[in-house]
Amino acid sequence: MSQTKNFNLPDLGEGLPDATIVEWFVKEGDVIKLDEPLVSMETAKAVVEVPSPVSGKVLKLSGAAGDIIPTGAVLASFEIDPNLPQRADGQDTGHSHGHAPAAPAAPTPPPIPTAAPAAAPVAAEEKAERDDAGTVVGAMQSSNAVHTEQALAVGGVKAVPAVRATARKLGVDLARVRATGADGAVTMADVKQAAANGTAKLGAAPAPAAAAAYAAPAPAQVAAPVQSETRTPLSAAGKPMRTQPPGVVAKGQPEPLKGVRRNMARVMADAHSKVVPTTLNDDADIHAWLPGNDVTARLVRAIVVAAQKVPAMNAWFDGEALTRTLHAQVDIGIAVDTDDGLFVPALRNADMLDARGIREGVNRLREQVEARSIAASELSGYTISLSNFGMFAGRYATPVVVPPCVAIVGAGRARHQMTPVMGGVEAHKVIPLSVTFDHRAATGGEAARFLRAMMDDLALAS
């Protein structure tokens, strides 16, 4: 009797409770070899290729592109082929789990076909398979093969997972994109160019591979609105329509939050439940600035100066243990807005950088975020953060402090205002500043002195 195996979605090294299927590289009935790419999954921080834990026939795939799979839930089921290479017992993580190799009295075949599809694990069956959930990640981490950045050819088109994910979101058919990358691989720039030109839209005759990869999520998106009547602000009697009362269900299609936006919702809710936020606002007068000053670089420098003068704001606070950690270095989380949601990469050792180093560091982080190539380690560990929302609009704000940080600085849109001077008034350019701090860890005086130090540094000519 052939042996079967369930593969549970491992923790992809990010400590998140779930991940979203971007693309399957196999279909049910296919034969796959050990460590060949099985599926690409999108987490809050990256698009990751997950390799096959075994060699054999794919019996079941739990979910389609766009589906959210909880960490630890069954992702796929296999019929193991003893004639193909397999990973030895205990090899996944470099140590044995204490089970005899022959205990393959692994779950008997009957439960496999009826396993619940990814959403609700069944305790008894998954307990027998749970050993696998942790071991495969060990294999991914210790493997010499780099899967996450490999341009894999699927359906005759070579592209890394992040590019495929972007193409899917922009409605671009990769088979129709002119590839400019190495070895004929489609790059992120190629996809964005095709989306801007409209030359590679998913149309009536997509390439077979693209149709298989992207067809799954389509039905739910287009079913309802197609037959909707023409909207009008008038009733049948020609009078203005009344709005519907509260409680009436909207006609829009609810959609689950995924990836970065899903994690953002969790993080913000967690911060709201834990932090005691207080916000101070004021305007920094930058009338004395010489031409060529970089606004972001000056804001970063001002935060560094203020953090060195008021260390209580450049700190972490543990609300459970009621302890705080003051940091000698200043690592600033730079808020980066994307269509997928909010990223906050860390500009490390900002206190050691000059204006040019700050600009180069910020540009590098933004480029990596846009390409979804930034390492997960770069999205945590900052000691204070900056939201430069004024580059879009807005004057003051109440930015959210995300634990364990104690403070965040928000910079609004610069404007000119009339300022009293000796003998009259002058039009001075100012930058609105908002500093939100966790009042459990810092006093109002400390926050005010921090804001004053920022304003004083920003008032300098250069």
* Confidence band of 101 (pLDDT split at 50, 70, 90): very low
> What is the chain's percent helix, strand, coil content, to nearest 5?
30, 25, 45
Give Cα 350 distance to the centre of its chain. Answer: 23
* Confidence band of 384 (pLDDT split at 50, 70, 90): very high
Q: Which of 106-120, 162-176, 235-249, 416-430 has the highest mean pLDDT?
A: 416-430
CA distance from start to end of the chain: 77
* Confidence band of 216 (pLDDT split at 50, 70, 90): very low
Give dist(CA 410, CA 408) in Å, integer: 7
Residue (of 51, 14, 5) closest to 376 by Cα position: 14
> Residue 34 — φ and ψ, nearest 5°?
-50, 130
Q: Do residues 340 and 265 lie in contact, with contact meaning Cβ atoms separated by under 8 Å?
A: no
Joined together, the tokens standing for residue 204 give: 């009536």
Tell me what the mean pLDDT of segment 189-213 comes to. Answer: 66
DSSP for 181-222, written as a single string? SGGGBPPHHHHHHHHHHTSSB--SS--HHHHHHHSTTHHHHH
Integer-rounded Cα radius of gyration of the chain: 27
* Confidence band of 154 (pLDDT split at 50, 70, 90): low
Burial class for 102, CB neighbours closer than 10 Å (0-12, 13-18, 19+): exposed
Residue (of 21, 37, 40) closest to 143 by Cα position: 37
Q: Do residues 127 and 107 lie in contact, with contact meaning Cβ atoms separated by under 8 Å?
A: no
pLDDT digits (tens, 9 = 90+) for 32-56: 999 899 998 888 767 788 999 999 9
| Cα atoms in the Cβ-side hemisphere of radius 13 Å centred on 282 | 17
**Tokens 């270095």 identify what position?**
329
- pLDDT reading at 138 higher than 60: no
- Helix pair angle (295-309, 355-370), 10° resolution: 110
Tell me what the mean pLDDT of segment 357-384 comes to. Answer: 91
Query: What pLDDT score does 331 carry?
Result: 97
- pLDDT reading at 227 higher than 80: no
Other C-beta atoms lying within 10 Å of the C-beta of residue 453: 19
Total-model pTM: 0.61
User: Where do runs of H (alpha helix) occur along 146-288?
Assistant: 161-170, 188-197, 208-214, 218-222, 259-274
- pLDDT reading at 248 higher than 90: no
Query: What pLDDT score does 245 carry?
Result: 60
Look up residue 89 and give its DSSP letter: T
* Confidence band of 409 (pLDDT split at 50, 70, 90): very high
* Confidence band of 351 (pLDDT split at 50, 70, 90): very high
Average pLDDT score, the chain: 80
- pLDDT reading at 95 higher than 70: no
Residue (of 446, 370, 441) closest to 406 by Cα position: 441
* Confidence band of 376 (pLDDT split at 50, 70, 90): confident
Q: Do residues 43 and 19 lie in contact, with contact meaning Cβ atoms separated by under 8 Å?
A: yes
Amino acid identity, position 141: Q
Q: Please state which of the ranges 62-71, 327-336, 356-365 shows the lowest mean pLDDT.
A: 62-71
- pLDDT reading at 440 higher than 90: yes
| Cα atoms in the Cβ-side hemisphere of radius 13 Å centred on 208 | 2
Q: Bigger pLDDT: 317 or 267?
A: 317
Other C-beta atoms lying within 10 Å of the C-beta of residue 392: 9
Tell me what the mean pLDDT of segment 189-216 comes to. Answer: 63
- Contacts of the segment 376-381: beta carbons below 8 A, 24+ positions apart: 376/13, 376/14, 376/45, 376/46, 378/345, 378/346, 379/45, 379/343, 379/344, 379/345, 379/346, 380/346, 381/331, 381/346
- pLDDT reading at 343 higher than 60: yes
- pLDDT reading at 358 higher than 80: yes
Query: What pLDDT score does 102 carry?
Result: 40
Tell me what the mean pLDDT of segment 144-169 comes to. Answer: 65
Give dist(CA 329, CA 246) in Å, integer: 51
Query: What pLDDT score does 98 carry?
Result: 37
Tell me what the mean pLDDT of segment 170-192 comes to. Answer: 82
